[in-house]
Amino acid sequence: MSNLNPEKIYNSLIESGESWADLQAAAELLEESKKSVLAELANKCPENSLGARESLALADPVYRLHLVNMVAARQAATRARVRYDALKVLADMRRTIESSRRAEMKL
Q: Which of 107, 105, 106, 98 is nearest to 4 (CA)?
A: 98
Helix axes 61-106, 34-44, angle to 10 degrees: 170
User: How much is the pLDDT for 1?
Assistant: 42
Going by pLDDT thresholds of 50, 70 and 90, the confidence category of residue 3 is low
Could you write out the DSSP letters of every residue in 34-73? Answer: HHHHHHHHHHH---SSHHHHHHHHHH-HHHHHHHHHHHHH
8-28, pLDDT tens digit by residue?
A: 888 999 999 999 999 999 999
Whole-model pTM over 0.75: yes
End-to-end Cα distance, the chain:
17
Distance (Å, rounded) from C-alpha 28 to C-alpha 18? 15
